[in-house]
Amino acid sequence: MTDHRRAVHPEVSRPPVRAHLDPQRTRRYRLFSAAVLLAGLGVATAVLLGHADRLEPGQLLIAGPLLAVGFLLSEQLSIDFDVRQISWTISFAEIPLVLGLVTVPFEVVLAAYLVAGLGVQIYRHKLRHLSYHAGIMCLEVAIPYFVFYVLRNDFPAMPVWAAAALGVLTSPLVSTALGLGAMNVLGGELRLPAAARLGLRSLVVCLLNVTVGLVAFVLVTNAPWGWLLAGLLAASMVALYRAYSGLLREQRDLETLSDVSLNVARSGQDVMNKASVLTNVLPPEDPADWQAIVERIRDQLNAKRVVLHLKMDTDDVRRLVAGVPLPDGDEPDRDDPILQLAGNHVRYFKLSDAADDVQEALRRRGVYEVLVVPLRGASQPLGAMEVHDRLSRWRGFGSADVRLLRTLSSHLATAMDNRRLVGRLRHHAYHDPLTGLLNRTGFREVAGDPVRGEDACVVMRIDLDVMSGVADALGYAWGDRMVLAASRRLRDALGGEVPLARLEGGSFAALLVDRTHEQAQEIGEKLRAGLSMPYPVDKLTVEASALIGYVSNTTEDGDDTIDVDTLLQRADVAVQAAHSGSDPVRGYAPSMGQIFLRRFQLVTQFRSALETGQVTVHYQPKIALPSRQVVGVEALVRWRHPEFGPLDPDEFVPAVEATGLVDALTSFVMEQGLQRVRQWLDRGLRMSTAVNLSVRNLADANFPDLVAEALRRYDVPPQLLTFELTESGVMSDPERALPVLRRLHAMGVTLAVDDFGTGYSSLAYLRQLPVDEVKIDKSFVLGMGTDLSDMAVVRAIVELGHSLGLTVVAEGVEEDSAREQLVSMGCDVAQGYLISRPLSEERFEAWLRARTIRARGLRDETVLTLVS
């Protein structure tokens, strides 16, 4: 039968406003319980007075105790599960009920049921809902007997077993209706379809139990050795129910473990997202996050109350309670015998057999039994968890509850330990271990937004110019003491709100927001005066001085796109100028840019480098997905300088672009690429070449004519030439760039947007650009394996490109897993170190011979396919 009586306790219900905190709802529940009791007593009295069965003493003395034992045994094998705010139970109680219905009078079954049920309630000290339980027990016995008597009187031809079955089938309907009524009184909600499904399932289980009971009765009364068959049938049913109960319990336990772990992880992620790089500690944890976790544990264990004691980083203990509030005056006590735990195992205490001090602790909590388990991290205790009073009429906590709590506590402790470890790692990642100040990475993180913003910011670099001498003379330990002393002086002078970092050695950096050059000069003088005071280190007094350089994010040269690293570099240039000059506090000026001398040399020598063969073109292959056919290459410029050696393109290409030599560079790369394509065509290979375009190329109205002339000269189809352009290059001057792009597109040249996804204008302008391809920036492709947000960006770009009819190319593919993920997303082309690094002409030809196989294509051309 479906037993809902234990389910409607206010401790189990979770209405929007808790019943134990709402006096009006509590009064309504008490009135409802009284009404159920009066109704049960009334119906039982009516049935008792209306039936004509004569009670025999033997029935009361023999059948009564047997039925009571049957009711108790049926509940020992019950299956508990939750539906919304209510805990429900499936049991075998219909079996003794139907057996009693066909064998003994009403009062015997009622007495056995009340003795079994109410006796356990009293034994378990569940007296708060005794009236409700007594009323529903009377109704669950009286109504089936009433239906049975009516059917027997009005339909005498009906078999006894049929009348008994129909009578007992009313029991789950009564239980379900009253359980839903109690839930409604307590503020819970259950929609009509869910309630109907619940009632139907209750009827199915009841029908199965009734059938088993009646079959057993028939076997025992009509067949020789029928009691043996009935016993086998009962044993089979018990095994079946126990197996199902175990599977259901395991499923719910796994769901609870998953929910708790995910909630802790999600809460930790929220804390990390809210954490400030400037602070040395994580922000306070949201109690609501932990409250939801504790509520979930209480629901799974079907407990009256769960108390979670969390030890915070400040050694304070936070206590979270789910379920019935603790009695007034029960405050955490370090000497509480229940919380004096050793080891990691679960302890079980029961009021009836516990030691005197434990009994007193249980009475203070107002509970009969408690499970308690410590939460221990890898190196420190994290708290403890208490579970009070299982909300079951018949049973207390069992071995399955102990196993689940042990596993939950292990998962919870591990998650909490990892969460705190991540917090410490985050702190170490952004802070200097010696001084506790920000490190270079942390300073870059903190200063990024203000520097990029509209406010005037000053980056100040402070160098102690005697640090190396102190370290050499006295050792590094003395140098560290000097650094600590200097960091305290800087922090005291600047205040706690100014971002301050130790970059390396005796070098510091500070960010001054909304400061002018004059104010920065004044602050620099003040800091230098404080740092230049003698340092008493143990018995020594060390004289020191400081050099300070500063730079604003709005410099005189008009460059308003600089980042934090550039400002730090320029501040360092100012420090070097202060070191070589007479003024120890210097502001950056463009004339100090001696670091650009090398760039100037490169620019002046670039054209001769093109003519003398120092500049060459390397090729990086691109393959189609998933066929792995080599479809083209990207032509990349390389420069081997006779004095500086191999130069990074990021070093000389920006300088070339800035000085107007980019036209010569683009023409050189394009010519080399087209010549290579022509050679491949002569060998039957149809592969394209991609060339990067600059802002200046797009601003040249004659550039399409130069491209057309080169295509005619090498007799290369325009489809085999691809120009890659950055969205920032197009959007810097769209009125001049778009006509050039339209002319190139009309010629049949393939246009691709490079580094797609990194600019602010991608989605807004993509439909306006006459492009054929999008190249996903390699930063997203490289992060796909570790960052779900990067994977989401890549997937979104693939879908966006395909929705616009564009070919999608992924660059930066360095792992097989990334390639397989791109294939599953439907990406068209891949490029990266997994396939090949950029290679010179000779090495690329050797790569084609060694890494590809040749086949005949559909148009009778040679197709090269990459070998795994």
| Better pLDDT: 241 or 699 | 699
**Is the confidence at residue 472, as pLDDT, over 80?**
no
Contact 868/654 with Cβ under 8 angstroms? no
Contact 298/322 with Cβ under 8 angstroms? yes
The segment with the largest mean pLDDT, out of 206-220, 539-553, 648-662, 706-720, is 706-720
Read off the pLDDT of residues 90-106 as tens digits, 9 standing for 90 and up: 677 778 888 777 888 88
Q: Which pLDDT belongs to residue 264?
A: 62
| Whole-Å CA distances, 335 to 319, 341, 358, 366 | 16, 11, 11, 18
Contact 260/298 with Cβ under 8 angstroms? no
Tokens of 149: 């008597």
Pairing of strands 540-542, 546-552: unpaired
- Please report how many Cα atoms fall inside a 13 Å half-sphere around the Cα of residue 131, on the Cβ side: 12
Pairing of strands 546-552, 535-537: unpaired
Contact 758/737 with Cβ under 8 angstroms? no
Q: Which pLDDT belongs to residue 824?
A: 92
Q: Which pLDDT belongs to residue 843?
A: 93
| Whole-Å CA distances, 688 to 8, 63, 679, 845, 860 | 74, 95, 12, 15, 17
At residue 430, the 3 state secondary structure works out as: helix
User: What is the distance between the alpha carbons of residues 29 and 17, in angstroms, rounded to a whole number?
Assistant: 14
**Mean pLDDT, the chain, whole residue set:** 78
**Is the confidence at residue 86, as pLDDT, over 50?**
no
Q: Which pLDDT belongs to residue 11?
A: 33
Q: Which residues, in sequence order, are CB contacts of 348 under 8 Å at separation 6+?
A: 369, 370, 371, 397, 402
Chain centre to alpha carbon of residue 355 = 44
Q: Which pLDDT belongs to residue 295?
A: 81
Q: Percent of the chain beyond pLDDT 70?
A: 76
Burial class (CB in 10 A: 0-12, 13-18, 19+), 404: buried
At residue 4, the 3 state secondary structure works out as: coil
**Is the confidence at residue 395, as pLDDT, over 80?**
no
Contact 646/680 with Cβ under 8 angstroms? no
Q: Which pLDDT belongs to residue 467?
A: 54
Q: Which pLDDT belongs to residue 141?
A: 86
CA 810, 815, 818: angle at the middle one, nearest 5?
50
Tokens of 278: 């400037």
**Is the confidence at residue 596, as pLDDT, over 60?**
no
Read off the pLDDT of residues 64-81 as tens digits, 9 standing for 90 and up: 787 777 777 776 666 555
Tokens of 406: 């042990």
Q: Which pLDDT belongs to residue 194?
A: 64
Q: Which pLDDT belongs to residue 725?
A: 86
Read off the pLDDT of residues 329-386 as tens digits, 9 standing for 90 and up: 666 566 788 887 777 788 888 887 888 888 888 888 888 888 888 888 777 778 888 8
Q: Which pLDDT belongs to residue 699?
A: 82
Q: Which pLDDT belongs to residue 18?
A: 38
Burial class (CB in 10 A: 0-12, 13-18, 19+), 738: middle
Q: Which residues, in sequence order, are CB contacts of 851 under 8 Å at separation 6+?
A: 836, 866, 867
Strand partners, 311: 317
User: What is the distance between the alpha carbons of residues 618 and 661, in angstroms, rounded to a whole number?
Assistant: 20
Quick one: pLDDT band at residue 556, thresholds 50, 70, 90? low
Tokens of 600: 């100037």
Q: Which residue has the tokens 């054929």?
A: 772
Tokens of 611: 């003519």
Assign 3-class secondary structure to 367-400. CCEEEEEEEECCCCEEEEEEEEEECCCCCCCCHH
The segment with the largest mean pLDDT, out of 398-402, 495-499, 575-579, is 495-499
CA 714, 719, 722: angle at the middle one, nearest 5?
90
DSSP conformational letter for 60? I
Q: Which pLDDT belongs to residue 347?
A: 86
- Which alpha helices (H) appear in 638-702, and where do they start and end? 649-658, 662-682, 695-699
**Is the confidence at residue 245, as pLDDT, over 70?**
no
In which element (H, E) is residue 853 found? strand 852-856
Closest residue by Cα to residue 215 from 63, 99, 109? 99
Return the minimum-mean-pLDDT range out of 56-70, 170-184, 646-660, 744-758. Answer: 56-70
Pairing of strands 369-376, 807-811: unpaired
Q: Which pLDDT belongs to residue 847?
A: 92
Mean of pLDDT values over 671-679: 94
Return the minimum-mean-pLDDT range out of 626-640, 758-772, 799-813. Answer: 758-772
**Is the confidence at residue 282, as pLDDT, over 50?**
no
Q: Which pLDDT belongs to residue 644?
A: 81
The segment with the largest mean pLDDT, out of 24-33, 258-267, 856-865, is 24-33
**Is the confidence at residue 721, as pLDDT, over 50?**
yes
| Better pLDDT: 83 or 401 | 401
Closest residue by Cα to residue 787 from 269, 421, 440, 277? 269
E-assigned strand segments in 138-284: none
Q: What share of the chain is helix, strand, coil (3-state, %, to 5)?
A: 55, 20, 25
Q: Which pLDDT belongs to residue 713?
A: 94
Contact 781/811 with Cβ under 8 angstroms? yes
Contact 212/97 with Cβ under 8 angstroms? no
Q: Which pLDDT belongs to residue 20?
A: 42
Q: Which pLDDT belongs to residue 751?
A: 92
Say what angle helices 130-154 and 106-123 make with each other, to 10 degrees: 160
**Is the confidence at residue 850, as pLDDT, over 50?**
yes
**Is the confidence at residue 89, as pLDDT, over 70?**
no
| Better pLDDT: 707 or 427 | 707
Residues in the chain: 868
- The phi, psi pair for 170, rounded to 5°, reads -75, -20
Q: Percent of the chain beyond pLDDT 90?
A: 13
Q: At 865, which amino acid appears? A: T
In which element (H, E) is residue 711 found? helix 703-714
Q: Which pLDDT belongs to residue 72?
A: 77
| Better pLDDT: 822 or 404 | 822
Mean of pLDDT values over 217-228: 71
User: What is the distance between the alpha carbons of residues 101 and 104, in angstroms, rounded to a whole number?
Assistant: 6
The segment with the largest mean pLDDT, out of 124-133, 390-399, 683-692, is 683-692
User: What is the distance between the alpha carbons of residues 19 and 329, in angstroms, rounded to a whole number?
Assistant: 21
Q: Which pLDDT belongs to residue 730?
A: 72
Q: Which pLDDT belongs to residue 258?
A: 66
Mean of pLDDT values over 24-53: 80
Quick one: pLDDT band at residue 715, thresholds 50, 70, 90? very high
Q: Which pLDDT belongs to residue 140?
A: 85
**Is the confidence at residue 179, as pLDDT, over 60?**
yes
Q: Which pLDDT belongs to residue 763?
A: 59
Q: Which pLDDT belongs to residue 19?
A: 37
- The phi, psi pair for 802, rounded to 5°, reads -65, -35
Q: Which pLDDT belongs to residue 636?
A: 93
Burial class (CB in 10 A: 0-12, 13-18, 19+), 74: buried
Read off the pLDDT of residues 247-265 as tens digits, 9 standing for 90 and up: 666 666 666 666 666 666 6
Read off the pLDDT of residues 8-24 as tens digits, 9 standing for 90 and up: 333 333 333 333 445 77
- The phi, psi pair for 513, rounded to 5°, reads -95, 140
Number of H helices, E strands in the chain: 30, 26
| Better pLDDT: 733 or 796 | 796
- The phi, psi pair for 78, rounded to 5°, reads -70, 160
Burial class (CB in 10 A: 0-12, 13-18, 19+), 79: middle
Quick one: pLDDT band at residue 828, thresholds 50, 70, 90? very high
In which element (H, E) is residue 145 found? helix 130-154
Tokens of 668: 């050189």
Tokens of 508: 């510091």
Q: Which pLDDT belongs to residue 552?
A: 84
Q: Residues of 604-616 as b/e, b for ≥16 C-beta within 10 angstroms?
A: ebbeebbeeebbe
Contact 482/467 with Cβ under 8 angstroms? yes
- Which alpha helices (H) appear in 597-638, and where do they start and end? 597-612
| Better pLDDT: 208 or 834 | 834
**Is the confidence at residue 312, as pLDDT, over 80?**
no
User: What is the distance between the alpha carbons of residues 710 and 692, in angstroms, rounded to a whole number?
Assistant: 16
Read off the pLDDT of residues 731-783 as tens digits, 9 standing for 90 and up: 667 778 888 999 999 999 999 988 776 654 455 566 778 889 999 888 889 88
